Amino acid sequence: MIIDKLFQSVKEKGHVCVGLDTDISYIPKEFFNKYSCEEEALTAFNERIIDATFSLAACYKVQIAYYEALGLRGMNAYKKTLDYIRKKGGIIIADIKRGDIAKTAEMYAKAHFEGDFESDFITLNPYMGLDSIEPYLTYVKDRNKGLFALVRTSNPGAEDIEYIEGKNGKRVYEITGEKIHEMGRNFLGECGYSSLGGVVGCTHVDEGLKLRKNLHSMFFLIPGYGAQGGKAEDVALYLKDGNGGVVNSSRGILLAYRNHEDGALRFDEYAAKETVR
């Protein structure tokens, strides 16, 4: 199962997920100017980052919004980036956060688990209800795909809805996590984790141990490290023996070169060093 492949990748390489949330402004001008258009520069930048970090990163998370914002040229760069990761044998998390139901969700599943934009995992927003998850499960079962559903996010606004308490005293994010955890029992891999994982931000330390204990077979995609305030000791609470989750870092890795005078033309080297750090 795909979750076993991800678990093994973490075991071999460590728990870092390199986020290719690549804004055009992140690309050094000295590098960008070598190319005739944004699509070529963006693709080439991503490929250099992937080559430099491939032996160090468990997987890659590609945030689609950065590519959609550039129109057709951006989506071509998105496709080429996915193709490049796949060609190298890497694991792709497409960060698309879809949250619709019925036939619409079926089309989202087809769009991102087949064809030009095929990935291994996608992110979903389950807060419209569990029927927003169900249309994707055929791909999890029959096509070796995986999901990461939002449970407790890392943004300050998470408290607006996710922290509302229900009649049983549990918060919305706890109830959501438990429901997805239960749904995921049907897709357990040999590693003991499910291909139906959860997005759990590491910016709320006090809840980390409780979530890890209660959602014991849920593999976590952990945002919030670095630029959003999460620290290494915070992240450790969400892992079990260094596994059971991947920790995403995007800007911290992509922009590591800006901390060095010679960084512009060695951005990939500094990305690798930051991944190790």
Residue type, 105: A
Instruction: Please enumerate in sequence order all residues whose Cβ is within 8 A of that of 119, keeping only pairs 6 or more positions apart, or say none.
Output: 62, 82, 92, 93, 94, 112, 113
**What's the angle, vertex CA 197, arms to CA 195 and CA 202, rounded to 5?**
150
Total count of residues recorded for the chain: 277
How far are the Cα atoms of 131, 179, 181, 197, 224 from residue 134, in angstroms, in the given order?
Answer: 5, 12, 14, 14, 27
- Provide the phi-psi class of 37: left if phi over 0, else alpha when psi is between -120 and 50, else beta: beta
DSSP 138-155: HHHHHS--EEEEEEE-SS
Q: Which residues have a catalytic role annotated?
A: 97
Q: Of the candidates 61, 19, 22, 36, which has an alpha carbon nearest to the alpha carbon of residue 148?
A: 61
In this structure, are residues 85 and 58 in contact, taking their beta carbons and an 8 Å threshold?
Answer: no
Question: Do the strands 16-19 and 146-152 form a parallel or antiparallel pair, or are they unpaired?
Answer: unpaired
8 A C-beta contact, residue 212 and residue 196:
no
